[in-house]
Amino acid sequence: MRKPILALLAIICVTATNAQLTKADEQKLNALLKQMTIEEKVGQMTQVTFAVIAKGGWGDTEGNIDPAALKKALSDYHVGSVLNVNAHGFSVDKWNEVITTIQDEAQKTRLKIPIVYGLDGMHGQTYTLNSTLFPHNLGMAATRNPEYVKAAAKATANELRASGVRWNFAPVLDIGRQPLWSRFPETYGEDVYIAKTMGGLAVRSYEEDGLKNPTAVASCLKHYLGYSGARNGKDRTPAYIPEIELREYYLPSFREAVKSGASTVMINSGEINGEPVHASKYLLTDVLRKELGFQGVVVSDWEDIKRLHDRHNVAATPRDAVVMAVNAGIDMSMVPTDFSFYDLLLEAVKLKEVPISRIDEAVKRILTLKFKLGLFDNPYPEAAAKANFGKPEYQTLALNAAREAMTLLKNKNNILPLSKNIKVLVAGPSAQSISALNGCWSYTWQGNNEQWYPADSKTILQAIKDKIGAANVTTTTAKGFNAVENYNTESLKGAADKADVIIMCIGEEAYAESPGNTRELALPDEQVELVKAAQLMGKPVILVLTEGRPRFITNIEPASSGILMAYWSGRKTAEAITDVLFGDYNPDGRLPFTYHKSMGEIVLYDRKPTEEVREVFNDNAGSGYDPLYPFGWGLSYTTFEYSDLQLSSTTLKGDAKLNITVTVKNTGSRAGKHAVELYTHDLYASITPSMKRLRAFQKISLNAGESKQVTFAIDRNDLAFVNAQLKTITEAGEFEVMIGDKKAKFNYSY
Ligand code: BGC
């Protein structure tokens, strides 16, 4: 009996910290709700952007609040939440001042309800100057190391809270299965298991100390649901996703994050099968609330309620749009540039188009969040939180995470690591760019204004000079991704003569959301021409890719000696790249997506049997899954050998566990880390099975010559799929388990 009782207690405790309030707070909340006018309630559901309360509106760049505008928002419109910055982030002190001014004003309102401020701390605290930025989710996924996800989320929570901000619009849980999508770098890549594991851990890390604690922030799951599935890859354009696919690939990361205690969810600005998600009662209420059991706040994305009318054209009037969204289940509207939502919702309530019960439900959730966050105890920036800003260990963490993200794609004749006693030519547009190493959400929304980066941010060129001495480094590059010098093949020729190796830094300049839309995944012609020119100079060419999605390199790959995928890995990207190139770090990142060859070859790793076989006679390109580099690819400076794959049984029954062990040996001459990945393949199923699916991974560290036995325990849930009746089930039958080059079979029965 003991165990079930303990288990029950554990469930109650988790629920108590994450979902519910203390008795005292609950009493206060109920008393407050009773006193609130309808105007005050609708105001709580209204979120405005900083420009609305800033002196000079969008023109403000210094964070100056206009007292009259603030009073209008808080007293006349009873606004419950503020978000965002204008052009760039603020210092910690400035944030503390901004939040204090806002909460002071909130204290002057009739009911003294504090404001909950929200910011996008996507890979570190984006909008506080000198915060520590970590690899974007894509790079985190490449580390295959959950410890970094947890630690980076904790550091982010600390730096947000130090700034006086308690609501983080992260993590992004959209699945990266459309590589054209401009928000691909914000995803954990194409695999469902990685996204749900890492996303769930991030949520726990943000919230698990309890939201009253100065080390925690409320998380916000983004962007529920199907945002990343846009058919043409452009931001906020239609997705057509059959429900079976929605449940198989898009929903699991959200389900896991809800289980992990997430307090808020933000909604996808797009549409699925012709229905804008902001208007979908099915997705917002039936699935999110009833099925997933989500109890927190649902916030719209930017202007998305208005857009039901003026973009999606499903609501004939702006008021219809408000009615549609609120009745579907939106609790708070990121309006955010005016008070139209407030006026329209008031009207709608008076006309009985939105029931008061729906308003009360939404307001209760918002107030619950504020009580949970301790805002009613103390809405002001906390000294204890401020002390957690900019701790030296965050820099170490950023460096280690960036190192483990580095994914070595090619190393012909072991050209890498390079000796430190050679002459290198550093070329390419990202050699002197800081923003091309950090990407979006870096001190500014787009991340492309280097003025706001910390003074000690290094470029690749600088980091290489620091590593091997400036005298050994020449460059043909200039600052500015688009500077013409960066593409000058003539100057490259001259410089190449004196170099032993050419390090070519190419990829993408920072972008976020729609500005990152692209018609083409191929690298821009000028970059391709530059690399081709370098490849004619008789010197080995190493490509360093700093990019947010797999830009095609198919035509420049064969003549490249080495290729390092660096992603957008945050503040220490340049150092991590250089450590790998010159052998101070042995790379261990693994691709979290398939590196495709071309637009016509976009097949994902968890492909179906008919994608595996290529039935054309005029194409000898190999199997149907024939990428440039497969999902999970990543080289090391040492070698690992797998042996002795053993299953605890060849039959798995009911809810039992199957233990799977494998021995991994470092057969090379230097220590290295290695992510051991376990895939399964359901041989026959009622729905065409995937050829392989990642079901578990573990990162280990091995000295030269050392062996370790790695054990995985899986059960039937790890073998499940969504069937034609939309149920997640495991069918009886034969399964194959694959780890490295080893395979074994077992049978599952009920
Ligand atoms: C983005 C969200 C973000 C919000 C607030 C929107 O444009 O889609 O991810 O949280 O802006 O900045």
pLDDT value at position 16?
36
Render 484-541 in DSSP notation, one character per residue: GGGG-HHHHHHHHTT-SEEEEEEE-----SGGG--S--BPPHHHHHHHHHHHTTTS-E
**How many angstroms separate the CA atoms of 730 and 750, rounded?**
9
Q: Using a 6 Å cutoff on CB, does residue 147 contact ligand 1?
A: no
pLDDT value at position 620?
55
pLDDT value at position 621?
54
* Tens-place pLDDT, residues 598-614: 998 899 999 999 888 76
Cα 89 to ligand 1 centre (Å)? 15
- Binned at pLDDT 50, 70 and 90, residue 137 comes out as very high
pLDDT value at position 414?
98
Which range (13-17, 95-99, 456-460, 661-665) has the least confidence? 13-17
Average pLDDT of the residues in 387-403: 98
Residue type, 699: K
pTM for the full predicted model:
0.96
pLDDT value at position 8?
45
* Tens-place pLDDT, residues 542-572: 999 999 999 999 999 999 999 999 999 999 9
Average pLDDT of the residues in 345-353: 98
Radius of gyration of the CA atoms of the chain, in A: 26
- Binned at pLDDT 50, 70 and 90, residue 617 comes out as low
pLDDT value at position 352?
98
Whole-angstrom CA distances from 80 to 71, 77, 494, 585 are: 13, 9, 62, 48
Q: Using a 6 Å cutoff on CB, does residue 307 contact ligand 1?
A: no
Q: Using a 6 Å cutoff on CB, does residue 370 contact ligand 1?
A: no
Is residue 5 pLDDT above 60, yes or no? no
Q: Using a 6 Å cutoff on CB, does residue 66 contact ligand 1?
A: no
Is residue 2 pLDDT above 60, yes or no? no
| Ligand 1 atom with minimal separation from the 223 CA | 9
pLDDT value at position 12?
42
pLDDT value at position 618?
56
Render 670-733 in DSSP notation, one character per residue: S-EEEEEEEEEEESS-SSPPPS-EEEEEEEEEE-TT-EEEEEEEE-GGGG-EE-TTS-EE--SE
pLDDT value at position 17?
38
The closest alpha carbon to 298, from 327, 263, 271, belongs to 263
Is residue 287 pLDDT above 90, yes or no? yes
| Ligand 1 atom with minimal separation from the 84 CA | 12
Average pLDDT, the chain: 95
Q: Using a 6 Å cutoff on CB, does residue 302 contact ligand 1?
A: yes
Cα 456 to ligand 1 centre (Å)? 28
- Percent pLDDT > 90 in the chain is 95
Is residue 449 pLDDT above 60, yes or no? yes
| Ordered strands of the 733-739 beta sheet | 651-653, 742-749, 733-739, 672-682, 693-702
* Tens-place pLDDT, residues 258-286: 999 999 999 999 999 999 999 999 999 99
- Percent pLDDT > 70 in the chain is 96
| Ligand 1 atom with minimal separation from the 120 CA | 10
